[in-house]
A = this chain, B = another copy of it.
Protein backbone atom coordinates (compact mmCIF):
# COMPACT_ATOMS: atom_id res chain seq x y z
CA UNK A 1 0.00 0.00 0.00
CA UNK A 2 1.39 3.45 -0.88
CA UNK A 3 2.18 5.86 1.93
CA UNK A 4 -0.60 8.14 3.00
CA UNK A 5 -0.51 11.22 0.82
CA UNK A 6 -1.16 14.71 2.00
CA UNK A 7 -4.87 15.23 1.35
CA UNK A 8 -5.39 18.18 -0.97
CA UNK A 9 -8.02 20.74 -0.14
CA UNK A 10 -10.26 19.17 -2.73
CA UNK A 11 -9.54 15.50 -3.42
CA UNK A 12 -11.56 13.21 -5.63
CA UNK A 13 -12.10 9.47 -5.64
CA UNK A 14 -13.87 6.99 -7.87
CA UNK A 15 -15.74 3.98 -6.49
CA UNK A 16 -17.00 1.05 -8.55
CA UNK A 17 -19.43 -1.69 -7.56
CA UNK A 18 -18.56 -4.56 -9.90
CA UNK A 19 -21.36 -7.12 -9.85
CA UNK A 20 -22.19 -10.07 -12.08
CA UNK A 21 -25.21 -8.24 -13.52
CA UNK A 22 -24.37 -4.55 -13.41
CA UNK A 23 -21.52 -2.17 -12.84
CA UNK A 24 -22.09 1.11 -11.01
CA UNK A 25 -19.44 3.81 -10.69
CA UNK A 26 -19.39 7.11 -8.78
CA UNK A 27 -16.97 9.98 -8.36
CA UNK A 28 -16.97 11.66 -4.95
CA UNK A 29 -15.19 14.52 -3.26
CA UNK A 30 -13.22 14.07 -0.02
CA UNK A 31 -16.43 14.22 2.04
CA UNK A 32 -17.96 11.42 -0.03
CA UNK A 33 -20.37 13.70 -1.84
CA UNK A 34 -21.33 12.10 -5.16
CA UNK A 35 -20.40 14.27 -8.16
CA UNK A 36 -21.29 11.79 -10.90
CA UNK A 37 -22.79 8.33 -11.46
CA UNK A 38 -22.54 5.82 -14.33
CA UNK A 39 -24.22 2.43 -14.57
CA UNK A 40 -24.24 -0.31 -17.19
CA UNK A 41 -24.67 -4.05 -17.63
CA UNK A 42 -21.54 -6.08 -16.92
CA UNK A 43 -19.97 -7.66 -20.02
CA UNK A 44 -19.50 -11.13 -18.54
CA UNK A 45 -17.57 -13.48 -20.83
CA UNK A 46 -16.89 -16.65 -18.89
CA UNK A 47 -13.22 -17.40 -18.44
CA UNK A 48 -12.03 -14.13 -20.01
CA UNK A 49 -11.67 -11.18 -17.63
CA UNK A 50 -10.35 -8.71 -20.23
CA UNK A 51 -13.66 -7.28 -21.50
CA UNK A 52 -14.74 -6.49 -17.92
CA UNK A 53 -11.39 -4.94 -17.00
CA UNK A 54 -11.59 -2.71 -20.11
CA UNK A 55 -15.22 -1.91 -19.21
CA UNK A 56 -14.34 -0.88 -15.65
CA UNK A 57 -11.53 1.38 -16.90
CA UNK A 58 -13.87 2.92 -19.47
CA UNK A 59 -16.67 3.52 -16.98
CA UNK A 60 -14.23 5.20 -14.59
CA UNK A 61 -13.13 7.52 -17.41
CA UNK A 62 -16.74 8.33 -18.28
CA UNK A 63 -17.85 8.99 -14.72
CA UNK A 64 -14.87 11.35 -14.30
CA UNK A 65 -15.95 13.20 -17.45
CA UNK A 66 -19.46 13.50 -16.05
CA UNK A 67 -17.98 15.09 -12.91
CA UNK A 68 -15.85 17.39 -15.10
CA UNK A 69 -12.63 15.71 -13.99
CA UNK A 70 -9.82 13.73 -15.57
CA UNK A 71 -8.78 10.31 -14.26
CA UNK A 72 -5.41 11.90 -13.43
CA UNK A 73 -7.27 14.22 -11.03
CA UNK A 74 -8.32 11.24 -8.89
CA UNK A 75 -6.41 10.39 -5.72
CA UNK A 76 -7.41 6.73 -6.02
CA UNK A 77 -10.04 4.30 -7.27
CA UNK A 78 -11.82 1.73 -5.08
CA UNK A 79 -13.48 -1.38 -6.48
CA UNK A 80 -15.93 -3.66 -4.68
CA UNK A 81 -16.03 -7.07 -6.36
CA UNK A 82 -18.38 -9.95 -5.52
CA UNK A 83 -16.41 -12.97 -4.34
CA UNK A 84 -13.25 -13.87 -2.48
CA UNK A 85 -10.81 -11.02 -2.95
CA UNK A 86 -7.49 -10.20 -1.31
CA UNK A 87 -7.48 -6.48 -0.46
CA UNK A 88 -3.70 -6.55 0.06
CA UNK A 89 -2.75 -7.89 -3.38
CA UNK A 90 -5.79 -6.69 -5.34
CA UNK A 91 -6.34 -10.21 -6.67
CA UNK A 92 -9.87 -11.56 -7.12
CA UNK A 93 -9.35 -15.18 -6.14
CA UNK A 94 -12.82 -16.51 -6.89
CA UNK A 95 -15.81 -14.68 -8.35
CA UNK A 96 -18.35 -17.26 -9.59
CA UNK A 97 -20.70 -14.52 -10.91
CA UNK A 98 -17.93 -13.21 -13.17
CA UNK A 99 -16.48 -16.64 -13.90
CA UNK A 100 -13.12 -15.51 -12.52
CA UNK A 101 -10.33 -17.27 -10.66
CA UNK A 102 -7.17 -15.44 -9.55
CA UNK A 103 -7.57 -12.28 -11.63
CA UNK A 104 -5.07 -9.50 -10.68
CA UNK A 105 -7.76 -6.86 -11.06
CA UNK A 106 -5.99 -4.15 -9.04
CA UNK A 107 -2.76 -4.45 -11.02
CA UNK A 108 -4.51 -4.50 -14.42
CA UNK A 109 -6.60 -1.45 -13.61
CA UNK A 110 -3.59 0.48 -12.30
CA UNK A 111 -1.87 -0.22 -15.64
CA UNK A 112 -4.93 0.98 -17.57
CA UNK A 113 -5.81 4.04 -15.45
CA UNK A 114 -2.38 5.11 -14.10
CA UNK A 115 -3.83 5.77 -10.66
CA UNK A 116 -3.82 3.77 -7.37
CA UNK A 117 -6.55 1.11 -7.30
CA UNK A 118 -7.81 -0.65 -4.16
CA UNK A 119 -9.88 -3.84 -4.41
CA UNK A 120 -12.26 -5.11 -1.75
CA UNK A 121 -15.24 -7.40 -1.36
CA UNK A 122 -18.56 -5.98 -2.60
CA UNK A 123 -20.45 -6.29 0.71
CA UNK A 124 -17.45 -5.01 2.67
CA UNK A 125 -17.53 -1.79 0.65
CA UNK A 126 -21.35 -1.62 0.94
CA UNK A 127 -20.93 -1.84 4.73
CA UNK A 128 -18.43 1.02 4.56
CA UNK A 129 -20.86 3.07 2.45
CA UNK A 130 -23.75 2.52 4.87
CA UNK A 131 -21.46 3.28 7.83
CA UNK A 132 -20.14 6.50 6.33
CA UNK A 133 -23.33 7.89 4.86
CA UNK A 134 -26.24 5.48 5.20
CA UNK A 135 -28.26 3.48 7.71
CA UNK A 136 -25.27 2.68 9.95
CA UNK A 137 -23.89 6.23 10.19
CA UNK A 138 -21.99 6.80 13.44
CA UNK A 139 -22.71 3.23 14.69
CA UNK A 140 -20.06 1.66 16.90
CA UNK A 141 -21.22 -1.80 15.80
CA UNK A 142 -23.13 -2.72 12.67
CA UNK A 143 -23.78 -5.73 10.47
CA UNK A 144 -24.62 -5.63 6.76
CA UNK A 145 -26.44 -8.55 5.14
CA UNK A 146 -26.78 -8.35 1.36
CA UNK A 147 -29.34 -10.76 -0.12
CA UNK A 148 -28.97 -11.39 -3.86
CA UNK A 149 -27.66 -14.24 -6.02
CA UNK A 150 -25.79 -15.20 -2.84
CA UNK A 151 -25.80 -13.77 0.68
CA UNK A 152 -22.84 -11.63 1.73
CA UNK A 153 -21.99 -9.77 4.88
CA UNK A 154 -19.90 -6.99 6.35
CA UNK A 155 -19.14 -5.94 9.92
CA UNK A 156 -18.28 -2.73 11.74
CA UNK A 157 -17.04 -3.28 15.30
CA UNK A 158 -15.71 -0.69 17.76
CA UNK A 159 -16.52 1.90 15.08
CA UNK A 160 -14.29 0.34 12.42
CA UNK A 161 -14.51 -2.18 9.62
CA UNK A 162 -13.83 -5.66 11.00
CA UNK A 163 -11.77 -7.83 8.63
CA UNK A 164 -10.73 -10.63 11.00
CA UNK A 165 -7.39 -12.31 11.63
CA UNK A 166 -7.01 -13.72 8.10
CA UNK A 167 -9.05 -10.93 6.44
CA UNK A 168 -11.90 -13.38 5.80
CA UNK A 169 -14.62 -11.99 8.10
CA UNK A 170 -18.14 -11.33 6.86
CA UNK A 171 -19.07 -14.65 5.23
CA UNK A 172 -22.45 -14.50 6.94
CA UNK A 173 -24.15 -16.34 4.05
CA UNK A 174 -22.23 -19.43 5.06
CA UNK A 175 -23.92 -19.86 8.42
CA UNK A 176 -25.48 -23.31 8.75
CA UNK A 177 -29.08 -22.93 9.91
CA UNK A 178 -30.59 -26.21 8.76
CA UNK A 179 -28.31 -29.04 9.79
CA UNK A 180 -28.07 -31.48 6.85
CA UNK A 181 -30.22 -29.06 4.81
CA UNK A 182 -29.96 -28.28 1.06
CA UNK A 183 -26.49 -28.32 -0.50
CA UNK A 184 -24.77 -24.93 -0.72
CA UNK A 185 -22.37 -23.80 -3.45
CA UNK A 186 -19.62 -23.92 -0.81
CA UNK A 187 -20.04 -27.66 -0.27
CA UNK A 188 -21.69 -27.51 3.16
CA UNK A 189 -25.36 -28.22 3.74
CA UNK A 190 -28.01 -25.86 5.08
CA UNK A 191 -26.08 -22.57 4.79
CA UNK A 192 -28.37 -19.56 4.87
CA UNK A 193 -27.27 -18.79 1.28
CA UNK A 194 -28.71 -22.17 0.20
CA UNK A 195 -31.95 -21.37 2.05
CA UNK A 196 -32.79 -17.71 1.58
CA UNK A 197 -30.79 -16.14 -1.28
CA UNK A 198 -32.62 -15.13 -4.45
CA UNK A 199 -31.11 -18.24 -6.08
CA UNK A 200 -32.58 -20.45 -3.33
CA UNK A 201 -35.96 -18.72 -3.66
CA UNK A 202 -35.91 -19.33 -7.43
CA UNK A 203 -35.09 -23.01 -6.86
CA UNK A 204 -38.05 -23.32 -4.46
CA UNK A 205 -40.47 -21.50 -6.80
CA UNK A 206 -39.42 -23.70 -9.75
CA UNK A 207 -39.85 -26.84 -7.62
CA UNK A 208 -43.37 -25.73 -6.61
CA UNK A 209 -44.30 -25.07 -10.26
CA UNK A 210 -42.89 -28.44 -11.32
CA UNK A 211 -44.92 -30.05 -8.54
CA UNK A 212 -48.02 -28.63 -10.22
CA UNK A 213 -48.68 -25.42 -8.26
CA UNK A 214 -50.02 -22.42 -10.18
CA UNK A 215 -47.75 -19.36 -10.42
CA UNK A 216 -47.49 -16.28 -12.64
CA UNK A 217 -43.68 -16.32 -12.43
CA UNK A 218 -43.10 -18.22 -15.71
CA UNK A 219 -45.45 -15.83 -17.52
CA UNK A 220 -43.76 -12.71 -16.06
CA UNK A 221 -40.31 -14.01 -17.00
CA UNK A 222 -41.46 -14.71 -20.57
CA UNK A 223 -43.09 -11.29 -20.92
CA UNK A 224 -40.08 -9.42 -19.54
CA UNK A 225 -37.53 -11.60 -21.31
CA UNK A 226 -35.80 -12.58 -18.04
CA UNK A 227 -34.05 -15.91 -17.70
CA UNK A 228 -33.75 -15.60 -13.91
CA UNK A 229 -36.23 -14.80 -11.17
CA UNK A 230 -34.88 -11.30 -10.53
CA UNK A 231 -36.10 -8.91 -7.82
CA UNK A 232 -38.33 -7.20 -10.40
CA UNK A 233 -39.95 -10.54 -11.30
CA UNK A 234 -40.58 -11.18 -7.59
CA UNK A 235 -42.05 -7.68 -7.20
CA UNK A 236 -44.45 -8.24 -10.12
CA UNK A 237 -45.47 -11.68 -8.78
CA UNK A 238 -46.22 -10.14 -5.37
CA UNK A 239 -48.31 -7.43 -7.03
CA UNK A 240 -50.32 -10.27 -8.62
CA UNK A 241 -50.60 -11.88 -5.16
CA UNK A 242 -48.89 -15.05 -6.42
CA UNK A 243 -49.32 -17.69 -3.67
CA UNK A 244 -46.14 -19.61 -4.54
CA UNK A 245 -43.92 -16.52 -4.42
CA UNK A 246 -45.60 -15.25 -1.23
CA UNK A 247 -44.95 -18.57 0.50
CA UNK A 248 -41.35 -18.89 -0.69
CA UNK A 249 -40.59 -15.27 0.27
CA UNK A 250 -42.17 -15.74 3.73
CA UNK A 251 -40.02 -18.80 4.36
CA UNK A 252 -36.85 -16.94 3.30
CA UNK A 253 -37.80 -14.00 5.54
CA UNK A 254 -38.34 -16.32 8.50
CA UNK A 255 -34.88 -17.82 7.99
CA UNK A 256 -33.28 -14.39 7.55
CA UNK A 257 -35.05 -13.22 10.73
CA UNK A 258 -33.55 -16.14 12.66
CA UNK A 259 -30.15 -15.38 11.13
CA UNK A 260 -30.40 -11.78 12.33
CA UNK A 261 -31.42 -13.01 15.81
CA UNK A 262 -28.41 -15.38 15.88
CA UNK A 263 -26.10 -12.50 14.97
CA UNK A 264 -27.68 -10.13 17.49
CA UNK A 265 -27.54 -12.75 20.25
CA UNK A 266 -23.83 -13.15 19.53
CA UNK A 267 -22.74 -9.57 18.74
CA UNK A 268 -25.52 -7.24 19.95
CA UNK A 269 -24.84 -4.58 17.29
CA UNK A 270 -26.54 -1.19 17.15
CA UNK A 271 -27.83 -1.71 13.63
CA UNK A 272 -28.36 -4.47 11.07
CA UNK A 273 -28.58 -3.20 7.48
CA UNK A 274 -30.34 -5.43 4.94
CA UNK A 275 -29.41 -4.69 1.33
CA UNK A 276 -29.50 -6.10 -2.18
CA UNK A 277 -32.13 -6.00 -4.93
CA UNK A 278 -35.08 -7.24 -2.88
CA UNK A 279 -34.44 -4.81 -0.01
CA UNK A 280 -34.11 -2.00 -2.54
CA UNK A 281 -37.33 -2.78 -4.42
CA UNK A 282 -39.56 -4.02 -1.59
CA UNK A 283 -38.04 -1.98 1.27
CA UNK A 284 -40.03 -2.67 4.46
CA UNK A 285 -42.15 -5.30 2.73
CA UNK A 286 -38.91 -7.29 2.66
CA UNK A 287 -37.25 -6.08 5.87
CA UNK A 288 -40.38 -5.78 8.10
CA UNK A 289 -41.08 -9.51 8.50
CA UNK A 290 -37.34 -10.19 9.00
CA UNK A 291 -37.30 -7.61 11.81
CA UNK A 292 -40.44 -9.07 13.38
CA UNK A 293 -39.02 -12.61 13.52
CA UNK A 294 -35.67 -11.35 14.79
CA UNK A 295 -37.19 -9.33 17.66
CA UNK A 296 -39.19 -12.41 18.72
CA UNK A 297 -36.00 -14.46 18.82
CA UNK A 298 -33.65 -12.10 20.67
CA UNK A 299 -32.52 -13.93 23.80
CA UNK A 300 -32.34 -10.68 25.73
CA UNK A 301 -35.55 -8.77 25.14
CA UNK A 302 -34.58 -5.57 26.96
CA UNK A 303 -34.62 -2.58 24.65
CA UNK A 304 -35.01 -4.73 21.51
CA UNK A 305 -35.86 -1.63 19.51
CA UNK A 306 -32.39 -0.24 20.31
CA UNK A 307 -31.14 -2.76 17.73
CA UNK A 308 -32.29 -1.18 14.47
CA UNK A 309 -32.99 -3.64 11.65
CA UNK A 310 -33.41 -1.58 8.50
CA UNK A 311 -33.13 -1.58 4.71
CA UNK A 312 -30.00 -0.13 3.14
CA UNK A 313 -30.30 3.65 2.84
CA UNK A 314 -27.93 4.11 -0.09
CA UNK A 315 -29.60 1.33 -2.10
CA UNK A 316 -27.72 0.32 -5.24
CA UNK A 317 -25.15 3.09 -4.64
CA UNK A 318 -23.96 1.66 -1.29
CA UNK A 319 -21.18 -0.39 -2.86
CA UNK A 320 -19.81 2.29 -5.19
CA UNK A 321 -19.91 5.03 -2.53
CA UNK A 322 -18.33 2.66 -0.01
CA UNK A 323 -15.63 1.76 -2.55
CA UNK A 324 -14.81 5.47 -2.91
CA UNK A 325 -14.49 5.72 0.90
CA UNK A 326 -12.25 2.63 0.92
CA UNK A 327 -10.05 4.31 -1.73
CA UNK A 328 -9.99 7.42 0.49
CA UNK A 329 -8.97 5.55 3.67
CA UNK A 330 -6.40 3.33 1.98
CA UNK A 331 -4.71 5.87 -0.32
Contacts and interface: CB of A to CB of B under 8 A. Distances in A.
Interface string A110-143: 0000000000000000000000000000001100
A179 B177 CA distance: 6
A160 interface: yes
B155 A158 contact: no
Interface of A is mostly: loop
A171 B270 contact: no
B268 A165 contact: yes
Interface in A158-180: 158, 160, 162-172, 174-179
Nearest to A193: B299
Contact of A141 (B84, B165, B186, B262): B165
By CB atoms of chain B within 10 A, which of A157, A178, A267, A297 has the most? A267
A186 B262 contact: no
Contact of A266 (B140, B171, B261, B297): B171
Contacts of A188: 261, 297
A98 to B, nearest CB: 18
A269 B164 contact: yes
A9 interface: no
A268 B177 contact: no
B166 A140 contact: no
A307 B165 contact: yes
Contact of A265 (B175, B302, B306): B175
A303 B93 CA distance: 15
Given A171-B265, A176-B297, A178-B178, 18 more contacts: A141-B164, A153-B266, A157-B157, A164-B267, A166-B302, A169-B268, A170-B268, A171-B266, A171-B300, A172-B266, A174-B265, A174-B299, A175-B262, A175-B266, A176-B261, A176-B262, A177-B177, A188-B297
